[in-house]
Chains A and B, each alone.
Chain A
Amino acid sequence: DSGVTQTPKHLITATGQRVTLRCSPRSGDLSVYWYQQSLDQGLQFLIQYYNGEERAKGNILERFSAQQFPDLHSELNLSSLELGDSALYFCASSVHRIGTGELFFGEGSRLTVL
């Protein structure tokens, strides 16, 4: 058990809909990272937050947004969903601010868009 909690574990929805994925980091970790994993792309970095502030952005679509709340949990919002958004979405946390330390991953949220 990594100590990182993600909900929901599975989500099935239709194109055009909006979903919210939630992540609670390990106790004491201030950094939260979101990654998308699909079969053809591997693990792709989306966005990082540190102590409530956005630190870095990857190839995150404009239809996607995220935030980190004062209690350090984070939410990833995916809107106007397309078939190609079907993937595993992972949250990872770290005690490090600048991304040079190990990450601890949650079990992921599997999103299926029909």
Chain B
Amino acid sequence: EDQVTQSPEALRLQEGESSSLNCSYTVSGLRGLFWYRQDPGKGPEFLFTLYSAGEEKEKERLKATLTKKESFLHITAPKPEDSATYLCAVPFLTNGGSYIPTFGRGTSLIVHP
């Protein structure tokens, strides 16, 4: 069964304390893995797309990596403004032939000053 699972559910860090968020997936034929950031009361904001194992993408303090079973979002020396919920999404194939971006439950990150 196609699944997207994120861990941990919540993460508290001190400013400057690096860490990683995990997104594991089960899908036949990966058609991309997407990371989004969501601030409270706002819509998710697209961060990265990864398509193949070994691929890496970076943006400021964030780096996303991909293996055949999971993706990691590494946060280096985080700042309080990095506090948000981070969502990953994987397109799953429907019976009608369309791919639907299916989201994990997210990791809620709080960075304390």
Contact = CB atoms under 8 A, between A and B. Distances in A.
B91 A105 contact: no
Nearest to A43: B103
Interface in B77-100: 87, 89, 91, 94, 96-100
A100 B42 contact: no
A92 B43 contact: yes
Contacts, number: 65
B45 A98 contact: no
Interface in B26-42: 31-32, 34, 36, 41-42
Contacts of B8: none
Interface string B102-113: 111110000000
B94 A106 contact: no
Interface in A10-52: 33, 35, 42-43, 45, 48
B10 to A, nearest CB: 13
A99 B43 contact: no
B46 A102 contact: yes
A105 B44 contact: yes
A102 B34 contact: yes
A101 B46 CA distance: 10
Contact of A2 (B43, B96, B98, B104): B43
Nearest to B49: A102
Nearest to A105: B43
A90 B43 CA distance: 7
A45 B102 contact: yes
Interface of A: 2, 4, 33, 35, 42-43, 45, 48, 55-56, 58, 88, 90, 92, 97-108, 110
Interface of B: 31-32, 34, 36, 41-46, 49, 87, 89, 91, 94, 96-106
